[in-house]
Amino acid sequence: MNRLLAALLGAIVTGCAANPPSPAEPQAAAPASPADRAPYASTYVAPPSPPTLIRNATILTGTGTRIDGGDVLIEGGKIKAVGPSLTAPEGAVVIDASGRWVTPGLIDVHSHMGVYGSPGVEASNDGNESTDPVTSNVWAEHSVWPQDPGLEVALQGGVTSIQILPGSANLIGGRGVTIKNVPATTYQAMKFPGAPQGLKMACGENPKRVYGDDGRFPSTRMGNVAGYRQAFADAKDYMEDWKEYDANRAKYDREKEKGDEDAVPPKPPKQDLKLETLAEVMRGHILVHNHCYRADEMATMLDIAKEFGFKISAFHHGVEAYKIADRLADEGVCGALWADWWGFKMEAYDAVQENIAIVDHPSGGCAIVHSDSEEGIQRLNQEAAKAMTRGKLAGFDIPPERAIRWITSNPAKSLGILEQTGTLEPGKMADVVVWNGTPFSVYALADQVFVDGVVRFDRSKPGKPWSDFLQ
Amino acid sequence: MKTVRIAAILLATTLGAGAADAQDFLIKGARVHTAGKAGTLENADVLVHDGRIAAVGGSLTAPAGATIVEANGRPVTPGLFGGLTQIGLEEVNQEESTYDAELKLTAPAWQHMWRPEFDVTPAFNARSILLPVARIEGVTWGVIAPLAADSLIVGQGSAVTLDGRFDADFAGSKSLFVNWGSAAHAASGGSRAAQYMLFDQAIREVREPATAGNGALLLPEGRAVLKGYLAGGRVVFFVERASDIREVVRYAKVHGMKPVIAGGTEAWVVAKELAAADVPVVLDPLNNLPSDFDRLGSRFDNAKLLNDAGVRIAFSFSDSFQARKNRQLAGNAVAHGLTWEAGLAAITSSPAEIFGIGKDHGRIEQGQAADLVLWSGDPLEVTTVADQVWIAGNAVTMQSRQTELRDKYLERVKAGTAR
């Protein structure tokens, strides 16, 4: 079962199991009009766009395939066809992409855009709820400032989808949100329809420094682990309480139906937003994105996931992921990594520039280039190019059609949106970048960026910035 | 074949030794980017003798005993500038015991803010693990600078070679570093207006020591040091906002300083004035966001606009660990309109001129130090790597802690046992 379907079914099950329902948080569902949508759900609807045929390009599909001299046909905001010599439907916009390259829209799984925006003023310092080591109750989307000027420059770098995460001050920092990178006044109007939320967790130095320096728990790595475990243990108990309530409620409903006037309705447990998020993680509806640098700590986190029966979608930063690349591949966990960042802290001391290529190497390996930076997000393609270069020199066979997966389909997979985007396959969202040449170059520039078939950036037609802040 | 060639050169490696020990060699058939007046020379040779460039041109003959390096058309550039950096002053940024770039004396509380005599040069650790990481990527020198968020006068630093020798600083390269604008907001009592007021007081203490009473900012040592900078010394101002840049340049000149603008996000606004006053700018061309209210005018073509106006520019990425990223900055500036030659100059000859070592470093010209890099392709391209680096004529061992870790784990990865 694909993740989206699982998420939707999950929402239905938890929504119907009891009355009052178990407190599953509203899942992002298909866009609805503001009047009848679920709270916090996406209101994003792609505006209509004309059919578009991109002709005679070097196409990297994101599935590992390269097509030379190929065409991409977009209709109704979706990829209609990819291949040689496609026919333009009537009224289609035809783009001659001779000498140019076409890729899926890039996806960054790790951004703090909008929660730590530009300008980085005190008043907008909204990325870390660093008042408690476990804040699984907070949602990054409730901090997102849609006017962050960083969003538009990321789009100019070809980035069409972004996961915005809380910071790493906490063991469990809160829920992340995946957005489509389009101009909007509200975050709901950017929210990726149907994308599961993420859960930000953090290993190592940050949480223990933030709280330990304050004389609070945790101050050690063993304290960190105790903190995650207690939180999930509490959430397990919470799920049991609701299970028991659901059974009692069902029993009560049956008795009422039989006409038992004396039946007493059970009292529901108190809703707990922190534990509910963790319960949703264990139900598989929220995907874990775990800031974790050291190989040994990643291994510990995999054990914690095993203990409580959840899955880690991706380790983020993972400077030492290369040391356990085969284990990550075996467990189906992605490594969301930098090409060459290192040294800024002790847990980033053992960096190698081959990290991404090595994580990519084993069968089932899932390497992702992420940014965690308003500068880096503008050049994910260059970071991938550096990692590709280092990998090739280390003896790995990494053609462009393979490396492009690090910034398209692999991040889509880790975010649970691969069914909708991340590759150029018929039926998917037409999130497409036309580059002035190979994207694996310092001179690469996105000429046009499509989001759901709509041209959101055209280098030949510079306009006024979107952000109200820049007016 | 390339490996064999490099291995032969490695036999001659004598890192840390003086230039006199360097082996003579001839790079043949290179695309030589001189970063000087000669521009780019196709199919050219570079002859190195006694650690210096003895000749540059076509069809040079190798003297007896000189090693031949076949470039086969690959590019050669001068060794790259690593930026204003804390290389050699820190090992792990967040581990305080390894960090020497900031003065934090606390008695009296303000004292560390007014110690121009604080000079990071003697704290430079030539054996830092950061050096090999940077130099195997073609970064052969940098300017080590003190850093402090809460000081106006931060202290002094020098240009240093990254070849691993202990006495690494270049003569005549010392600079004073000063925070200005919002970078020194707290240190100036919450108002940038007070930056002029306080600096006025410090200058008066230098010029009229008798006025330096109980409320003096400077100690006698500080007065002596600042005096030198008020007599034509190079003073690097970290400043971003156009109005501040303009005013601080005027102020520096009035008081006898030779200003360099570092940061300079809004320098393009006052490009003409900077060109007229011959004031260079050290910038990060990737800064295109309004990161704060001093940088509302940030734009991707800052480097191009400054260069077009005739301002001397150099590039610096503010991260010691990522000095190797400086050429990526140059490549991006070129992608956004700067000429390729100006992009290369901004990480070679231009910073060498700005920091007072241009006579000996930064260009591939006869008489210059043989700080050279042989590249696998376009030196500004992200898919290019340094095939071989020489500093003062010595071939650099192309290894770092990072390559050693890589080699240690590659075997496991290739065996499928990395778990």
Q: What is the DSSP string of B311-356?
A: --EEE--S-GGGGGGHHHHHHHHHHTT--HHHHHHTTTHHHHHHTT
Query: Is B140 a domain residue?
Result: yes
- How do residues B275-334 score in pLDDT, each as one tens digit? 999 999 999 999 999 999 999 999 999 999 999 999 999 999 989 999 999 999 999 999
Q: What is the pLDDT of residue B1?
A: 33
In a domain, A394, yes or no: yes
Q: Which of A352, A353, A443 sits opposite B331 (nearest CB)?
A: A443
Nearest Cα residue in chain A from B403: A352
Q: Is residue A187 part of a domain?
A: yes
Residues of chain A found within 8 Å of residue B410, distances taken between Cβ atoms:
354, 358, 394-395
Contact call for A345 and B288, based on CB within 8 A: no
- In this prediction, residue B14 carries a pLDDT of 40
The answer to whether the Cβ–Cβ distance between A323 and B418 falls below 8 Å is: yes
* Cβ-based contacts of B6 with chain A (< 8 Å): none
Burial class (CB in 10 A: 0-12, 13-18, 19+), B237: buried
Shortest CA distance to A292 belongs to which of A206, A174, A409?
Answer: A206
B236: tokens are: 């690097």
Give the three-state DSSP class for A430: coil
Give the residue with greater pLDDT, B371 vs B5. B371
Of B322, B334, B410, the CB nearest to A443: B334
Among A121, A349, A385, beta carbon nearest to B383 = A385
Burial level of A405, CB count in 10 A (0-12/13-18/19+)? Answer: buried
* Shortest CA distance from B324: residue in chain A: A340
Question: Do B354 and B379 have their domain in common?
Answer: no
Q: Is residue B103 domain-shared with residue B233, that is, in the same domain?
A: yes
Cα–Cα distance between A456 and A430 in angstroms, integer?
12
Q: Give the per-residue pLDDT at B186.
A: 85
Mean pLDDT computed over B323-351? 98
Query: In the Cβ-directed half-sphere of B381, how many Cα atoms lie within 13 Å?
Result: 15
Number of domains in chain B: 2
Rounded Cα–Cα distance for residues B156 and B183 (Å): 17
Q: Residue A422 belongs to what domain range? A: 3-46+103-225+272-470
CB A360 within 8 A of CB A133: no
| CATH code of residue B247 | 3.20.20.140
CATH number at B37 reads 2.30.40.10
Q: Which of B388, B364, B397 is nearest to B74 (CA)?
A: B388
Q: What is the mean pLDDT of chain A?
A: 93
**Which residues from B are below 8 Å from A349, CB to CB?**
92
Residues B278 and B350 in one domain: yes
CB contact (8 A) between residue A119 and residue B130: no
Give the phi and the psi of residue A314 in degrees, each rounded to 5. -155, 140
Six token digits for residue A29: 């569902």
Q: So what's the pLDDT on residue B111?
A: 79
Tally of CB atoms within 10 A around A131: 11
What 3-state DSSP class applies to B277?
coil
CB–CB contact A385 B293 (8 Å):
no
Give the integer Cα–Cα distance in Å for B198 and B202: 6
| Partners of residue B131 in chain A, C-beta under 8 Å | none
Max Cα distance, chain B (Å): 75
The pair of three-digit structure tokens given for residue B64, joined into one six-digit string: 């007896």
Among A345, A375, A442, the residue with its CB nearest the CB of B94 is: A345
How many other C-beta atoms can be found within 10 angstroms of the C-beta atom of residue B408? 11
Q: Contact at 8 Å (CB) between A390 and A406?
A: no
Of A149, A340, A440, which is closest to B383 when you measure between CB atoms? Answer: A440
User: What six digits make up the tokens of B40?
Assistant: 């780019």
Sequence-distant (6+) residues with CB within 8 A of A346 are A205, B92, B94, B95
pLDDT at A37: 75
Q: What average pLDDT does range B126-153 have in this prediction?
A: 96
Task: Please tell me which residue of chain A has the smallest CA distance to B321.
Answer: A343
Q: Are residues B147 and B252 in the same domain?
A: yes
Tokens of residue A49, six digits = 């766009």
| Cα A10 to chain centroid, rounded | 19
Q: Is B403 inside any structural domain?
A: no
Please check whether residue A191 is in contact with residue A227, taking contact to mean a CB–CB distance below 8 angstroms. Answer: no
Residue B21: predicted pLDDT = 63
A357: left (phi over 0), alpha (psi -120 to 50) or beta: alpha
- Number of folded domains in chain A? 1
In the block, which residue shows the tokens 């006037």? Answer: A261
| Other beta carbons within 10 Å of A286 | 27
Q: Which two tokens stand for residue B393?
A: 């004529």
Contact: A325, B418; criterion CB under 8 Å: yes
CA of A52 to nearest chain B CA: how many angstroms apart? Answer: 28
Give the nearest chain A residue to B380 (CA atoms).
A442
Question: Is residue B152 located within the same domain as residue B11?
Answer: no
Test mutation, B378, B380, B402, chain A, max A CBs within 10 A: B402
Beta carbons of A442 and B320 less than 8 Å apart: no
Cα of B330 to nearest chain A Cα, Å: 9
Residue B318's closest chain A neighbor by CA? A344
Q: What average pLDDT does this structure show over B246-259?
A: 97
Give me the percent of chain A exceeding a pLDDT of 70.
92
- Tokens 């003697």 -> residue: B122
Please give the residue that has the higher pLDDT: either A24 or B397.
B397
The CB-based long-range contact list for A37-43 (8 Å cut-off, 24+ gap) reads A40/A139, A40/A141, A40/A188, A41/A188, A41/A191, A42/A188, A42/A189, A42/A191, A42/A192, A42/A193, A42/A194, A43/A186, A43/A188, A43/A189, A43/A191
Judged against a pLDDT cut of 70, whether residue B2 lies above it is answered with no
State in Å, rounded, how far the first CA of chain B is from the last one.
34
Interval B114-135 mean pLDDT? 97
Residue contact B382–A440, C-beta within 8 A:
yes
Nearest CA in chain A to B328: A442
Q: Is the peptide bond before A119 cis (omega within 30 degrees of 0)?
A: yes
**With contact defined as beta carbons under 8 Å apart, do B144 and B85 qualify?**
yes
- Which pLDDT tens digit goes with each residue over A69-105? 999 999 999 999 999 999 999 999 999 999 999 999 9
User: Could A121 and B324 be called an inter-chain contact, meaning their C-beta atoms sit closer than 8 Å?
Assistant: no
Q: What is the pLDDT of residue A304?
A: 98
Reading the block at residue B273, the tokens are: 């004035």
How many residues would you count in chain A? 471
Please compute the mean of the pLDDT values over residues B350-366 and round it to a whole number.
Answer: 98
Q: Kindly determine whether residue B418 and residue A118, on different chains, have CB atoms separated by under 8 Å.
A: no
Same domain, B183 and B307: yes
CATH of the domain at A134: 3.20.20.140
Q: At A287, list the tokens.
A: 């995907």
Instruction: Tell me which DSSP letter residue A38 carries.
Output: P
- A115 within some domain: yes
CB contact under 8 A, A382 and B328: yes
Mean pLDDT of A326-343: 98
- CB–CB of B383 and A342 under 8 A? no
Which residues sit opposite A434 in a β-bridge?
Answer: A102, A448
Is residue A345 within 8 Å of B92, Cβ to Cβ? yes
Give the separation between CA B25 and CA B64, rounded to whole angstroms: 10
User: Is B125 domain-assigned?
Assistant: yes
Of A342, A389, A470, nearest to B383 by CB-CB distance is: A389
Same-domain check for residues B74 and B84: no
Over residues A156-191, the pLDDT tens digits come to 999 999 999 999 999 999 999 999 999 999 999 999
Whether omega for the bond prior to residue A166 falls within 30 degrees of 0, making it cis, is no
Only one residue has tokens 């920091």, namely: B355
Residue A56 has pLDDT above 70, yes or no: yes
Establish if B408 belongs to a structural domain.
no
Whether B92 and B63 share a structural domain: no
Domain check: are B244 and B95 in the same one?
yes
**Shortest alpha-carbon distance between residue B387 and chain A (Å):** 11
pTM of the model: 0.94
Contacts of B417 in chain A (CB under 8 A): 326
- Closest CB to B92 among A118, A345, A352: A345
Contact B290 A349 (CB under 8 A): no
As for the ipTM of the complex, it is 0.94
CA separation, residue A343 to residues A161, B57, B398, B402 (Å): 29, 41, 20, 11
Average pLDDT over residues B265-283: 98
Contacts of A324 in chain B (CB under 8 A): 418-419
Nearest CA in chain A to B379: A442
Residue A341, Cα to own-chain centre: how many angstroms?
A: 21
- pLDDT-based confidence at residue A34 (cuts at 50, 70, 90): low
DSSP letter assigned to residue A266: P
Give residue B109's pLDDT: 67
DSSP run (H or E) holding A288: strand A287-292
Whether residue A383 is predicted with pLDDT greater than 70 in this model: the reply is yes
Interface test with chain A among B299, B380, B409, B417, by most A beta carbons within 10 Å: B409
Answer yes or no: do B84 and B56 share one domain. no
My answer on whether B124 and B221 are in the same domain is yes
Beta carbons of A119 and B402 less than 8 Å apart: no
Q: Whose CA is closest to B124, among B78, B173, B184, B80?
A: B173
In a domain, residue B163? The reply is: yes
Give the span between the Cα atoms of A131 and A142, in whole angstroms.
Answer: 17
* Residue A116: inside a domain: yes
Q: Which of B97, B185, B383 to mutate to test the interface with A (most CBs of A within 10 A)?
A: B383
Distance from CA of B150 to the nearest CA of A (A): 17
Q: Is position A61 within any domain?
A: no
Half-sphere exposure of B217 (CA within 13 A, CB side): 23
Residues sharing a CB contact under 8 Å with residue A5, sequence separation 6 or more, in sequence order: none
- Do residues B90 and B99 touch, judged by C-beta distance below 8 A? yes
Asked if B73 and B109 sit in the same domain, the reply is no
CA dist A469 and A431 (Å) reads 26
CA distances from A203 to A37, A165, A433 (A): 36, 15, 35
Q: How many beta-carbon pairs below 8 A join chains A and B?
A: 131
**Using the beta-carbon criterion (under 8 Å), do B418 and A326 form an inter-chain contact?**
yes
Mean pLDDT over residues A352-381, rounded?
A: 98
Q: Please, are residues A114 and A467 in contact by the beta-carbon 8 Å criterion?
A: no
Q: Can you give the pLDDT at residue A28?
A: 45
**In B, which residues are within 8 Å of A466 by CB distance?**
none
Q: Which residue of B has its CA nearest to A116?
A: B291
Residues on chain A touching B130 (C-beta within 8 angstroms): 343
Give the residue numbers spanning the domain of B257.
80-361
Cα(B218)–Cα(B194) distance, rounded to whole angstroms? Answer: 16
3 state SS of B30: strand
To the nearest 10°, the Cα dihedral for B77, B81, B87, B88? 70
> Considering only alpha carbons, which residue of chain B is nearest residue A330?
B419
In this predicted structure, what is the pLDDT of residue A133? 98
The pLDDT value recorded for residue A22 is 57
Inter-chain touch B332–A379, beta carbons under 8 Å = yes
Q: Is residue A289 part of a domain?
A: yes
Residue A352 DSSP SS3:
coil
pLDDT of residue B185: 87
pLDDT score recorded for residue B10: 41
Output the six-digit token pair for B300.
Answer: 């991707």
* Minimal-distance CA residue of chain B relative to A375: B286
How far is Cα A157 from Cα A464, in angstroms, rounded to an integer? 17
Examine the pLDDT at A32 and tell me if it is beyond 50.
no
| Nearest-by-Cβ selection for B406 from A120, A205, A394 | A394
Task: Answer yes or no: are the C-beta atoms of B130 and B320 closer than 8 Å.
Answer: yes
Instruction: Determine, yes or no, domain membership for B413.
Output: no
Q: Tell the residue number behind the tokens 């775990």, with chain if given.
A: A290
Strand B372-375 to B52-57 pairing = unpaired
Cα dihedral B375, B377, B381, B383 sign: negative
- Confidence class of residue B367 from pLDDT cuts 50, 70 and 90? very high
| Cross-chain Cβ contact B418/A346 below 8 Å | no
Per-residue pLDDT of B12-44, as tens digits, reads: 344 443 444 679 999 999 999 999 999 999 999
Residue A418, domain member (yes or no): yes
In 3D space, the residue among A381, A325, A313, A312 whose CA is nearest the CA of residue A352 turns out to be: A325
State the CB neighbour count (10 A cutoff) for residue B98. Answer: 14
pLDDT tens for A196-245 read: 999 999 999 999 999 999 999 999 999 999 999 999 999 999 999 999 99
Report d(CA B95, CA B81) in Å as an integer: 26
Closest-CA distance, A374 to chain B, in angstroms, reads 8
Using an 8 Å CB-CB cutoff, list chain A residues near B186.
Answer: none
User: Considering only alpha carbons, which residue of chain B is nearest residue A302?
Assistant: B419
Q: At CA A22, angle to CA A18 and CA A27, rounded to 5?
A: 115
Would B44 be classed as within a structural domain? Answer: yes
> Which residue among A358, A395, A445 sits closest to B335, beta carbon to beta carbon?
A445
Residue A355 lies in a domain: yes
pLDDT digits (tens, 9 = 90+) for B90-114: 999 999 999 999 998 877 767 788 9
Residue B179 located in a structural domain: yes
